[in-house]
Chains A and B, each alone.
Chain A
Amino acid sequence: MAKRIDVSGLTAYYGSHKAIEDISMTVEPRSVTAFIGPSGCGKSTFLRTLNRMHEVTPGGRVEGKVMLDGESLYGAGVDPVSVRRTIGMVFQRPNPFPTMSIYDNVAAGLRLNGSYKKSELDAVVEKSLKGANLWNEVKDRLNKPGSGLSGGQQQRLCIARAIAVEPQVLLMDEPCSALDPISTLAIEDLIGELKERFTIVIVTHNMQQAARVSDRTAFFNLAAIGQPGKLIEIDDTERIFSNPSVQATEDYISGRFG
């Protein structure tokens, strides 16, 4: 189920503005990789290049290579729609479809990809909601609108929606930044469980969070405002937080800037 991502020499633009430059890294399967760095360093942009969401932004384009188990995401003949089906995403702010019920939200991805029997859909919805630790809270109101849930529940609903289509990789763009500490904890626990099944990449502003949930951590930085963001280093999380090899990383982690 989980696949490895190899990125080499990736540069992304917004129009003529270079947002990130020459990034190369490997994301291991069945692990959590965290991206940290100051605001505007391009970590979210980089994340969005991994499932070709970057090009949705007007003027967004990408140079370089992203390989998913040896298959190029940007190769000729690759359908961005299939890429996004294979690599799921959870956003900064919970975004369940407001006009759909909880059930329909989870089933939305499946319904796009073919026709399923009611019993099959039921099973997937239950499995996904259980996978997102939300089943017990919503099983009695599956037909209520998803927007009626609390922020943390909504975010877990979005995670359930993303994992319902059984992606290879799950990208999370600051999934807890709009949530309170208790909901954050619930999501962090969930990430720990999900990494058994998926390759997870998470962008976070919260360094404690990166330290708590991730196996590997990548530190991004930019030389100055308006300059492209760069990958400074990527290493085991433990090493990054105890003994990073680059001075800038240590400065950032110890709170000397950023």
Chain B
Amino acid sequence: MSNPVIDKAPANEAPALPSAPLKQPRLPRWAPFGLALASAGIGSGIGLLAGLESRIQWGLIAALLYVALTMLIAGMVEGSRQAKDRLATSVIWVCFLLAIVPLASLVFETVSRGSKVLDGYFLTHSMAGVADLQPGGGIYHALVGTIQQVGLATLIAAPIGLFTAIYLVEYGTGKLAKAVTFFVDVMTGIPSIVAGLFIFSVWLIVLDFNHSGFAGALALAILMMPIVVRSTEEMLKLVPNELREASYALGVPKWRTILKVVLPTAIGGITTGVMLAVARIAGETAPVMLLVWGAMEINNNPFEGPQQSLPYYIWLQWKSGNPHAFDRAWAAALVLIAFVMILNLAARGIARWKAPKTGH
């Protein structure tokens, strides 16, 4: 093929490299598929013979077999480098399948078990007068509670978060901005139950209010603020500085520039961020548990008396531990997932719709 002697400069002793032939022995294209089938077969065979009850074990045996077989056969036919490559590929496929199974099961279980009692009655009635062991009842009171609490939390957190982000991006310099940035980071990491404890120690112990939807909303607002600040900040930073300068050059004062130029340019992204934050807090259970108490009847006043919320309703139904309550828990979980998903999809829709941020 080549004559390495010619290429050798006299001064150095670089080793002659083996010239790789273009054709390497390769496994046929169907090999991974065939191996997967074979391992699935053998895996279930072993599971059946050994009398293993749990399908999880069957799957794990098959997955391990697949990885081992691939490496072995590729190693024999194709050499170690290709074997490593195939090993990586098979491990990554196995990872994917391993992860997809529980996540798919979660969705499947929620939908199939949740649709059992989910109907118009369920959505429009509360649990008033329904004992845990009885069938029937609904989530209307929880829906009202969730919507009011999340709505109040958004009313508090969105403006504060928005203005904080404006401060950080448009005005912020010096120590105050640094401190705010730092504490937003810290706030992002607050566990939801700690936010609940805080509001409890201030609102209920020190200020001596009672459990109410509003108390829950306060805790949710604390969880929401840092998310809004972060996402809004990112969006404002995306607004090109030329736009601001163009506006100043026309003699527009700074606040009007922010209001009329910067915010409209970034409004799509900001809305998306707020909606995602809303979706996030709508599923929070822990603060509600400490602060809202969880009524079984409809309470349309978030400022007075215990309320209910969807996630907490799921928890209570799960806790009462009987088949009818479980049915209600699954149905409520399905409604909650649907609620969160719709918010997410809408947020993404807005983000896509407003994607070119150059305006018109």
Contact = CB atoms under 8 A, between A and B. Distances in A.
Interface residues of B, number: 21
A79 B17 contact: no
Given A75-B23, A79-B22, A79-B26, A123 B14 contact: yes
A77 B19 CA distance: 17
Interface stretch (A81-89, A151-159, A173-181, A232-240): A81-89
B6 interface: yes
A167 to B, nearest CB: 10
User: Interface residues of A toward B: which range?
Assistant: 20 to 34
B12 A166 contact: no
Contact of A68 (B6, B15, B22): B22
Contacts, number: 65
Contact of B13 (A77, A79, A123): A123
Most central of B9, B14, B81, B82 by chain A CB within 10 Å? B14
Interface in A96-117: 110, 112-114, 116
A78 B23 contact: yes
Nearest to B15: A120
A168 B24 CA distance: 17
B81 A112 contact: yes
B114 to A, nearest CB: 38
Chain B binding surface, main DSSP class: loop
B7 A197 contact: yes
Contact of A123 (B12, B19, B25): B12
Contact of A1 (B6, B14, B23): B6
Interface string B12-52: 11110111111111100000000000000000000000000
A222 B158 CA distance: 55
A112 B82 CA distance: 11
Most central of A79, A83, A120, A123 by chain B CB within 10 Å? A79
B126 to A, nearest CB: 53
Contacts of A251: none
Contacts of B19: 86, 166, 168
Given A1-B2, A1-B7, A127 B14 contact: yes
A123 B20 contact: no
A165 B22 contact: no
A124 interface: yes
B251 to A, nearest CB: 42
A126 interface: yes
B14 A120 contact: yes
Most central of B17, B18, B21, B25 by chain A CB within 10 Å? B17
Contacts of A79: 22-24, 26, 82
Contacts of A81: 24, 81-82
Nearest to A71: B22
Most central of B15, B21, B81, B82 by chain A CB within 10 Å? B15
Given A77-B26, A112-B81, A82 B14 contact: no
Interface in A34-57: none
Contacts of A113: 17, 20, 81
Contacts of A166: 7, 17, 19
Interface in B79-107: 81-82
Contacts of B17: 110, 113, 165-166
A84 B329 CA distance: 58
Nearest to A165: B17
A218 interface: no
Contacts of B20: 82, 85-86, 113
Q: Which 4 A-B pairs have the closest CB atoms?
A: A79-B24, A123-B14, A127-B14, A120-B15
Interface of B: 2-3, 6-7, 9, 12-15, 17-26, 81-82
18 contacts: A1-B3, A1-B7, A68-B22, A73-B22, A77-B23, A77-B24, A77-B25, A78-B23, A79-B22, A79-B23, A79-B26, A81-B82, A112-B81, A126-B14, A127-B9, A166-B7, A166-B17, A168-B19
Interface of A: 1, 68, 71, 73, 75, 77-79, 81-83, 85-86, 110, 112-114, 116, 119-120, 123-124, 126-127, 130, 165-166, 168, 197
